[in-house]
Amino acid sequence: MLSLYRIENGEVQIISCPPQGIRKGEYLSIEDTSTEKSLIIQVVEIDYANVPGILEDILRRSSIHKVNGEDYDPLEIKSYIELVKDAKVLRCKIRGALTRGEFTDDISWIPVRSRSRVVGIPDETLLKLINPSRLLPIQIGRTQKKVRVDIDAKAIDGSLNIISGKKGTGKSHLAKTILLGLIDQGGLCLVFDINGEYTKLDYKSSGERNRFQKKMKVLIPGRNFKVDLRYAGLGSILSIMRSVMDTPGTSTWEFRRIWNSLERRDAISIEEIFRSIDNINHEYVREALFRRFQSLVDTGFFCDDPKSNTAFEEIFAEMNMGGAVILNLKDLPSMIRKIVVEFVLSKLSQLLKRNIARAVFLFAEEAHLYLRDTYWEDIVTRMRHLGVFVTFVTNQPETIKQNVFRQSDNIFLFNFTNENDLKAISRASRIDGYTIESITRELPAHHCLMFGKVTRDLPLVVGIGRLDIQTQGETRFFFTPLETTPEGIVDKSTQNNYQTALQLK
Amino acid sequence: MENMERMVEFDIGTPSFEEIAGLARMSIENMDTYTSTEYPELPWNTAVDEYNRRSNAPINEQEIKHLVPIELRSLNDGTPIVAIDVSILGLGETQCGTIYAIRGTVVSRKEERYRYSRLGPLPFHINIGENETIKERRATDHTILSIDTGRRNPTIICRRLLTVFETMLKRKVAKMYDNAVLLWDGALTIPSVEEEIRATNSLMEVARKRRNSIVGVSKKTCLFSLQGTRDPLQGYQKPCLIDIDSRIQRTQRFLLLGTVYVAKLASDGLLFRLDVDKELPEAERIAAVERMIGNDLTQDGYPETLRLAHIFSKFNATEVIGMHRFLDDNYGLRILEYPNIRRILFGPFAGNHSKEPDAIYAKPV
Ligand SMILES: Nc1ncnc2c1ncn2[C@@H]1O[C@H](COP(=O)(O)OP(=O)(O)OP(=O)(O)O)[C@@H](O)[C@H]1O
Ligand SMILES: [Mg+2]
């Protein structure tokens, strides 16, 4: 039975006796039987009830632990006593209220203890509250009680999302789930794939192709992803030179002059640019530009052949029914990674400004490895207005700037154990740090605590479903389980025979 | 009361534990059927009470000093030591009485090992009657009117209940062991109620027949006051006894079943009062104490078996709450007024002999 014990400093304490196996993260409602109101509360911590005499009892037992014997308890009272000993206090946070079935934020009233009834909220009811429309569902997993959880693609649309958690907890897996869900709903996505683990999303784990076959485009910079200098445009190249290559002001100014004059003659090519640089009188500027342009060319990413050019407009046009461009940044030197990202982001802005695409969902894994500092700000402000909706995925939450965290719309947190990580998140999130610390610390593998627009701000623990896709690049271990099969030894980490989550649709 | 009547119908020395358990169950199930017609006043011999209560020392302290202590050996001969303790606690008041819980434990030490058998808890309902409905009934029912149950001290009934239970336990133990030392809690006094005297006598007989020695251990003695006096056994490094039996007033000695000693059982231990079965020859009485020392003793000189029996019997707060739940779930007894658990356990009748329950129960209509 659940009973209201007390309300103190915004925390509601419920006594559960006998204990009912309620878990952290579950929702309860305190129904006021005289009005049609109820408070919605969430269990954030479970303690033993401070039953008087427990300490005495334990001390007593510890002094007699070596004594064997039997109890003759004909009325079977012992079980009642054990129940009391096991009584739990559920520490809960108030998350909202229901007035005649309508969800409200009005939690200014306090239920009367004698007239209130505490009951668990069935997951189905809760999910209906969270996502009433179910217009564009993306199935991501199940609640702790195994009720299917869909998030509304609309709640991701226009949003800034953060997926974080410690290593190997399933962050990328969730990102992929959301990504595939968005594609199914017709969304256009772009992935900064630092580990090259999104490259086989169009294959089932069995190796067959799946329904995303025509919707994925994996770009490998320097190989199937090259840009013609003219397509890149002066703006992109200048910003790369400035921010990635630390080119001094005078030199960039000189580069601009060269570019403009070549452009007027319609003579932009790598060779011509080199020649122009060579003609610069000022030795210092000449040297500076030469070295930098050489590096740029050495990346193999830029070319002056329109036929080799990768035009985003064209890729996007093919993906008008939904699709994803996977930018495989795996094994690239840090500088090239930065150059490519810089180019892609500036190109993306241009295209969105020109309405070539309506909006792009950008998935950025460990963005601090390639995103320059000034872009963070830009992403949550200017680019967002243009229609770039970013999902940051990281196991180092402190690398995400505080204001990015604060402006985020949805947060998905997997297990954290590191105090600093927990603090970084608690400080910046919209829900209280206590809830975050208490729940995420104990999340099992592949479970996350999500909150924000996707849950109408009700923090929800979800077990993320499996995906029938080929995965690679995820957390690598030295010791991976090896299994002997008739064909020999199979490395399990590359073999995935998960049931599909998305195929259920 | 009604159940007390039933209880009295048993030969006080013979009810089995099953019968007591049955009685407990019945006492609660029938608690609202107020059918008893007779309330015989229990013949309570106030002499014993009086005797126990007197704090002014009946023995002259100076006299003790002149008595020669008997030095004791430690006889580790494998004699089983068996201690018995019981506990009673008021759980709450009902419309027509009180619910008490009792529990008893037997702890034995045999072959260097301790074992316990614990009986209970058993809740009992005792009709005492002090409320309006009962008063009304009393006014119309002459038989009830004739006895003023309301003013009777419930302590007496409690004590009776406990005695029946304790006697039953002691009897079981006495029958189970041979050549053992049986430790009882408190002095070996003659009970005041006729049936109890009979029961106790027969109990002692059973014990003696099987060559068991009965030793009553009192943690506190009011035979004499040690305050301001030096420990009469100070300076004695070995365990020793002083036989003070001869110094006890004749009228009081008449009420005792044992020979009374002051004992120090460990070199820096506390003083206890020991009552050893009077019927044993002196050498056997002393041997009984020596066997107790040799086979079961803690450092502070208090027998471990008895310490454990106390611990196992005593109720704590969790158990009180658990029993409240039991009464609620099985008999629909709701607590109307929440008891202060601390008061139940540590109140004026602390030590788990509370006779004054705080919980008020009611059976929902
Ligand atoms: N919901 C899930 N169901 C089944 N398997 C999962 C699930 N989530 C993740 N996995 C598997 O667990 C492993 C780790 O997952 P994933 O790579 O997503 O973790 P991560 O948090 O991104 O790790 P890293 O910190 O290394 O990036 C992978 O093998 C993945 O396939
Ligand atoms: Mg990952």
In tens, the pLDDT along A36-85 reads: 889 999 999 998 887 766 777 777 666 666 778 888 888 888 888 888 88
Would residue A128 count as lying in a domain? no
| Tens digit of each residue's pLDDT (9 = 90 or more) over A423-447 | 888 877 778 888 998 999 999 999 9
Would residue B42 count as lying in a domain? yes
DSSP symbol at A443: P
A114 lies within 8 A of chain B by CB: no
Cis peptide bond upstream of A221, omega within 30? no
**Quick one: A259 and A192 in the same domain?**
no
pLDDT at residue number A40 = 92
Q: What backbone torsions phi and psi does residue A362 show, to the nearest 5 degrees?
A: -105, 125
Q: Is the CB of A471 under 6 A from ligand 1?
A: yes
**What is the band of A498 on the pLDDT scale with cuts at 50, 70, 90?**
very low
pLDDT at residue number A103 = 85
pLDDT at residue number A251 = 93
For residue A202 the two structure tokens come to 């169009």
Closest CA to A400 of A433, A431, A443, A364: A364
Of the candidates A69, A83, A85, which has its C-beta nearest B117's C-beta?
Answer: A69
Closest CA to B120 of B135, B104, B132, B133: B104
Q: Does the distance separating the beta carbons of A71 and B17 come in below 8 Å? A: no
**Quick one: A299 and A236 in the same domain?**
yes
| B334: Cα within 13 Å, side-chain hemisphere | 4
Q: Is the CB of A140 under 6 A from ligand 1?
A: no
Would residue A250 count as lying in a domain? yes
Would residue A132 count as lying in a domain? no
Ligand 2 centre to CA of A470 (Å) is 14
The total domain count for chain B is: 1
C-alpha–C-alpha distance, residues B280 and A20, integer Å: 59
**Quick one: A362 and A491 in the same domain?**
no
**Quick one: A414 and A363 in the same domain?**
yes
Would residue A6 count as lying in a domain? yes
B262 lies within 8 A of chain A by CB: no
Partners of residue B25 in chain A, C-beta under 8 Å: 75
Q: Domain boundary residue among A73, A93, A121?
A: A121
> Between these two residues, A59 and A504, which has the higher pLDDT value?
A59
Closest CA to A27 of A154, A130, A150, A153: A130
For residue A430 the two structure tokens come to 């919209």
| Tens digit of each residue's pLDDT (9 = 90 or more) over A84-142 | 888 889 999 999 898 887 888 777 778 887 788 999 999 999 998 887 777 889 999 99
Closest CA to A392 of A405, A381, A402: A405
CB B196 within 8 A of CB B44: no
Q: Does the distance separating the beta carbons of A68 and B116 come in below 8 Å? A: yes
> Which amino acid residue places its CA nearest to atom 8 of ligand 1?
A170
Would residue B328 count as lying in a domain? no
Angstrom distances, CA of residue A84 to CA of A24, A208, A424: 21, 57, 39
For residue B77 the two structure tokens come to 């001969």
Give me the domain span that covers residue A500: 475-505
Of the candidates A54, A74, A84, which has its C-beta nearest B325's C-beta?
Answer: A84
Mean pLDDT in chain A? 86
Q: How many CB pairs under 8 A join A and B?
A: 91
Residues 6+ apart with CB under 8 A from A267: none
**Ligand 1 binding pocket mutation candidate from A148, A166, A172 (most atoms within 8 A of CB):** A172
> Hey, is A431 helix, strand or coil?
coil
Instruction: Please report the atom of ligand 1 found closest to the CA of residue A197.
Output: 17
**Quick one: A453 and A421 in the same domain?**
yes
**Quick one: A459 and A362 in the same domain?**
yes
Q: Is the CB of A172 under 6 A from ligand 1?
A: yes
Ligand 1 centre to CA of A359 (Å) is 28
A1 lies within 8 A of chain B by CB: no
Would residue B332 count as lying in a domain? no
- Tell me the average pLDDT across A312-331: 92
Of the candidates A57, A69, A81, which has its C-beta nearest B116's C-beta?
Answer: A69
Would residue B344 count as lying in a domain? no
Comparing A337-346, A363-372, B35-44, the range with the smallest average pLDDT is B35-44
Q: Does the distance separating the beta carbons of A74 and B107 come in below 8 Å? A: no
pLDDT at residue number A114 = 78
CB B114 within 8 A of CB B305: yes
Closest CA to A140 of A488, A479, A414: A414
Closest CA to A57 of B105, B245, B315, B160: B315
With a cut of 90, say whether residue A255 has pLDDT above it.
yes
Would residue B212 count as lying in a domain? yes
**Quick one: A299 and A314 in the same domain?**
no
C-alpha–C-alpha distance, residues B108 and B172, integer Å: 13
Would residue A441 count as lying in a domain? yes
A65 lies within 8 A of chain B by CB: no
Q: Where are the beta strands (DSSP E) in A369-426?
A: 388-394, 410-413
Would residue B352 count as lying in a domain? no
pLDDT at residue number B57 = 44
With a cut of 50, say whether residue A278 has pLDDT above it.
yes
Q: What is the pLDDT along chain B (365 residues), one digit of tens a residue?
A: 344 443 333 333 445 666 666 666 666 565 543 332 222 222 233 333 444 444 344 555 566 667 788 888 888 888 899 999 988 887 777 666 677 788 889 998 887 788 888 888 888 776 665 544 444 443 333 222 222 234 455 566 667 677 777 888 888 888 888 999 999 988 888 877 776 787 788 888 989 999 999 999 887 655 554 444 556 666 677 788 888 877 776 666 677 888 888 888 877 777 788 889 989 998 999 999 999 988 886 667 788 888 888 888 888 878 888 888 888 887 777 666 555 555 555 443 334 443 334 444 444 33
Q: What backbone torsions phi and psi does residue A176 show, to the nearest 5 degrees?
A: -65, -40
| Angle at CA of residue A376, ends A370 and A377, nearest 5° | 155
C-alpha–C-alpha distance, residues A149 and B234, integer Å: 79
A74 lies within 8 A of chain B by CB: yes
Instruction: Please report the atom of ligand 1 found closest to the CA of residue A141.
Output: 1
Q: Is the CB of A474 under 6 A from ligand 1?
A: yes
- Tell me the average pLDDT across A468-475: 67
Would residue B116 count as lying in a domain? yes
Partners of residue A63 in chain B, C-beta under 8 Å: 311
For residue A266 the two structure tokens come to 């319609």
The total domain count for chain A is: 4
> Hey, is A311 helix, strand or coil?
coil
pLDDT at residue number A403 = 82
Q: Is the CB of A446 under 6 A from ligand 1?
A: yes
Would residue A126 count as lying in a domain? no
Strand partners, A403: none
Nearest CA in chain A to B106: A69
| Highest mean pLDDT, choosing among A324-338, A365-379, B161-175 | A324-338
The H or E element containing residue A460 is strand A460-464
> Hey, is A392 helix, strand or coil?
strand
Which of A80, A83, A113 is best to mutate for the B interface (most B CBs within 10 A)?
A80
Would residue B363 count as lying in a domain? no
With a cut of 70, say whether residue A496 has pLDDT above it.
no
Would residue A440 count as lying in a domain? yes
| Tens digit of each residue's pLDDT (9 = 90 or more) over A281-304 | 999 999 999 999 999 999 999 999
For residue B268 the two structure tokens come to 């820096």
Angstrom distances, CA of residue A339 to CA of A218, A244, A300, A335: 18, 7, 11, 6
Instruction: Please report the atom of ligand 1 found closest to the CA of residue A498.
Output: 4
Assign residue A31 a region (left: φ > 0; alpha: ψ between -120 and 50; beta: otherwise): beta
Q: Does the distance separating the beta carbons of A80 and B326 come in below 8 Å? A: yes
Task: Let me know if B57 is exposed, middle or buried by CB neighbors in 10 A (0-12, 13-18, 19+).
Answer: middle
C-alpha–C-alpha distance, residues B339 and B358, integer Å: 5
Angstrom distances, CA of residue A103 to CA of A36, A64, A272: 12, 54, 66
Q: What backbone torsions phi and psi does residue B278 show, to the nearest 5 degrees?
A: -60, -35
C-alpha–C-alpha distance, residues A161 and A142, integer Å: 20
CB A262 within 8 A of CB A368: no
The b-or-e profile of A406-429 (16+ CB within 10 A means b, else e) is eebbbbbbbbbeeeebbbbbbebb
Distance from CA of A77 to the nearest CA of B (A): 6
C-alpha–C-alpha distance, residues A138 and A143, integer Å: 14
**Ligand 2 (ion): which residues have CB within 5 A?**
A 172
Closest CA to A496 of A477, A474, A469: A469
Distance from CA of B65 to the nearest CA of A (A): 37
Q: Is the CB of A468 under 6 A from ligand 1?
A: no
Residues 6+ apart with CB under 8 A from B350: none
Residues 6+ apart with CB under 8 A from A392: A160, A161, A162, A163, A164, A364, A367, A400, A404
Give me the domain span that covers residue B58: 2-315
Q: What backbone torsions phi and psi does residue B223 show, to the nearest 5 degrees?
A: -65, -35
Q: Is the CB of A170 under 6 A from ligand 1?
A: yes
Of the candidates A53, A63, A82, which has its C-beta nearest B316's C-beta?
Answer: A53
pLDDT at residue number B169 = 84
Closest CA to A412 of A381, A437, A427, A391: A391
**Quick one: A103 and A218 in the same domain?**
no
| Tens digit of each residue's pLDDT (9 = 90 or more) over A142-175 | 999 999 999 999 999 999 999 999 999 999 999 9
Of the candidates B24, B311, B341, which has its C-beta nearest A52's C-beta?
Answer: B341
Would residue A130 count as lying in a domain? no
**Quick one: A232 and A297 in the same domain?**
yes
**Quick one: A184 and A319 in the same domain?**
yes
**Quick one: A436 and A490 in the same domain?**
no
A59 lies within 8 A of chain B by CB: no
For residue B313 the two structure tokens come to 């019997």
Cis peptide bond upstream of A18, omega within 30? yes
DSSP symbol at A398: G
Partners of residue B113 in chain A, C-beta under 8 Å: 68
DSSP symbol at B324: H
Residues 6+ apart with CB under 8 A from B287: B75, B213
